[in-house]
Structure 1
Amino acid sequence: MTARGHDAAALVLRATLGPMLVAHGWNKVAGPGGLAGTTGWFEALGLRPARVHARLAAATEIAAGVGITAGAAGPLPAAAAVGLMTVAARTDHRGKGFFVFKGGWEYAGVVGGAAVALAALGHGRYSLDALLRRRHAGPGPALLAAALGTAGAAALLAACYRPHPAADTATATATAEPDTTDH
């Protein structure tokens, strides 16, 4: 790939992924249920204290989206996206199969994968990092984004994920039942 093609690919990926993360974060704050609805949702998922996690998730999603859109801070916004999607896959999408329209982890997997791919590509010439002469690209930043995001999610889940026993039973039952629908 030429440098011009590489820079264009990074820009398109940033312009797609970043604003989508901002919109999802903003929806947690100002969507139909607002922060109260997000807090209730996080409580039902088992994230304790839900009030803190609702705000933290919204702020992290917005900040990661802004960082990715602007092409700033090397692989750190990608790591934040990986962390967010790892927590989402574990808490909200676990045991529901692959397809997002059935509650599965498809969306979380694609967003996390795209964030790692962006860390590998780097933000390109049309970015704040390039303007500041900071260039981070390749397997090192990609591995850093994946490792930091996954480790952060694992730490958060270990410290704060306390699902209700009924939710664990429902997840275990859903996991044990084979998906026989035609996709």
Structure 2
Amino acid sequence: MDHDIGTLIVRLALGPMLAIHGWNKVAGPGGLEGTTRWFNSLGLRPAWLHARIAPATEISAGILLTAGLLTGPVCTAFVGLMVVAALTDHRGKGYFVFKGGAEYVVLVAMVAVGIAALGPGEWSLDHVLGWKLAGAWWALIVPAGGTAAALGLLATSYRPARQSA
């Protein structure tokens, strides 16, 4: 019972946070146009496509994690998103988030791996459906799969502007 309450609390913190983060890319002050410009400045090509894929992934992964549905695959998406963020927006800025570093994205990714290991708990759609998409193997699959997906995306789409000497 304590485990179920704990995993529910973590899901209710992490899932909505990512969904709202994604929604802000769509409907925040700059909207999709601002997100497109930002992704272009990061070197993600084509920026207009990534400005749509990223929030769609964030919103859907956030909603699914909140519901405790498809826990392992959804945690893999969380890790993939955070690895892309760490290697683009936070790259070379150190660890601490107040200096633009990767502190936040590392924490989000690690919590997602923890949820994949623990499972979503009894108060989840995975439990209601009888799906076992979490556990020790998922604690290995999630970081490996998320990192592989992120590196694949970056290999095909990351073209930062060259720095002049």
Q: Normalized against structure 2, the TM-score is what?
A: 0.97
Deviation, 1:139, is 1.5
Residue 19 of structure 1: which of 16, 19, 34 is its match?
16
1:39 equivalent to 2:28? Answer: no
**Gaps (5+ residues) in structure 1?**
171-183
Residue number in structure 1 paired with 2:52: 55
Residue 160 of structure 1: which of 146, 157, 160 is its match?
157
**Gaps (5+ residues) in structure 2?**
none
For these two proteins, the number of residue pairs brought into alignment is 165
1:143-154 aligned at under 5 Å gives the runs 143-154=140-151
Query: 1:108 corresponds to which letter in structure 2?
Result: V
Identity %: 58
CA RMSD of aligned residues (A): 1.1
Q: Deviations over 1:28-68 (max 9, x none)?
A: 00001000000000000000000000100000000110110
Give the Cα separation in 2 of the matches to 1:5 and 1:26. 32
Residue number in structure 1 paired with 2:64: 67
Deviation, 1:134, is 1.0
> 1:59 aligns to what SS in structure 2?
helix
1:26-175 aligned at under 5 Å gives the runs 26-166=23-163
1:7 equivalent to 2:4? Answer: yes
Deviation, 1:8, is 1.1
Deviation, 1:135, is 2.4
Residue number in structure 2 paired with 1:177: none
Deviation, 1:148, is 1.2
- After superposing on structure 2, the runs of 4+ consecutive aligned residues of structure 1 that deviate more than 3 Å are none
Deviation, 1:74, is 2.7
- Which structure: larger Rg? 1
